[in-house]
Every structure is written in structure tokens, then in C-alpha cells.
Amino acid sequence: MMKMKSGVEQAICIMIMLATQIDQRPIKSAILSKRLSVSDSYLKKVMRSLVVSGLVDSGAGKDGGFRLSRTPEEITMLHIYEAIEGAHSFVRPTNLAEKVFLRADKIRDKKQEVLAVFFDAEQQFKSRLEKYTLDSLLVEGSDRIGATDWESIVLSAEN
């Protein structure tokens, strides 16, 4: 069974916030972590992965923060998934088959058969993620999520 890190969901939410930020102004990590109710230290790890992958730019200083480095139309769910999970295969044989099949030819044949099914499923999974863009999350029917001033929303919620 495949299990994704919670960072993937957080990264998608962060990317939506960055994509909808008014005038593409940078958003500070403290604003993102407060809005998502996650620790600032964990959020910074997710942000580092997004920056290293080239999806997000980071600026320091008073006017610094994070912003998208590409348009929402150019960013796929696969980009976000791989930024957090890595691009490596999630299929990793453990050689347990050798402990239950006694004949070497059965081990080899069945192992290859099972791995082929999982690799095919992985390719379908990644292919589907590649077809779904960040922009598609911002549109529902004929409505598009409008620009938002996330800093004002977070700060007004505190008061």
C-alpha cells in the first residue's frame, strides 16, 4: 500500500495560496503556517523542497517571502508530488519472495510479474498527476478563485 507524506497535501495548499496571492506578492512562512495550522519549522521543510524543485522562489528581508516561480498552468500535480516525495520509484522490492517460494524459477517469474503490475500502476498514477495542473484547482465550472490577500486574512483572524 502506498502512503503519501502529509507534506504533499500541504504543498498543494501552499501552492494554491501562492497562486491566488493578490498581485503575486510574496507570502511569509509565518502566514502560511498560521493559515494551515502547521508548525513553522515543518512548513519551512516543505517550502525548502518546493524551492529546491524550482516551483517556488524565496526572497529574504522585510518584503521577502515565497512566490510561484512558474505560472499555475505550467505546474502539474506531478511536479508538486515529486518535489515532496522525490522522483524515484515507490516500488522497492524487499526480496521476501525468496523466503516463501522454494523454487528459484518461481521466485524470479512471480517477482517479475508482481513488480510489472506495480510499475504499471505507478506509471498510470504519475501520468494522471502530470495531466492535472495547479491552474485546474483554481477553476470550478466557469468560476475562478479570485485574488486573495492572505496576510490580511491571517492577521485579521488573530484579532
* Single-letter code of the amino acid located at 9: E
The single residue listed with the C-alpha cell 493559515 is: 35
CA distance 115 to 110: 8
Residue 80's pLDDT is 97
Mean pLDDT of 71-91: 93
Domains and CATH numbers, the chain: 6-88+134-158 (1.10.10.10)
- 116 and 125 in contact (C-beta within 8 Å)? no
CA distance 101 to 152: 62
Q: What is the largest CA-CA distance in the chain?
A: 69
Residue 74's pLDDT is 97
Per-residue pLDDT tens digits for 95-153: 766 676 667 677 777 788 888 999 999 999 999 999 999 999 998 777 888 889 999 99
> Is the confidence at residue 12, as pLDDT, over 90?
yes
Residue 58's pLDDT is 96
- 54 and 84 in contact (C-beta within 8 Å)? no
Residue 101's pLDDT is 67
CA 44 to chain centre: 14
- 89 and 119 in contact (C-beta within 8 Å)? yes
- C-alpha cell, 1: 500500500
The three state secondary structure string of 15-50 is: HHHHHHEHHHCCECHHHHHHHHCCCHHHHHHHHHHH
Please state the pTM of the whole predicted model: 0.85
Residue 1's pLDDT is 45
CA distance 110 to 105: 8
Mean pLDDT of 13-17: 96
Q: Is the dihedral of CA 80, 81, 82, 86 positive or negative?
A: positive
Q: Phi and psi of 37, rounded to 5°?
A: 55, 45
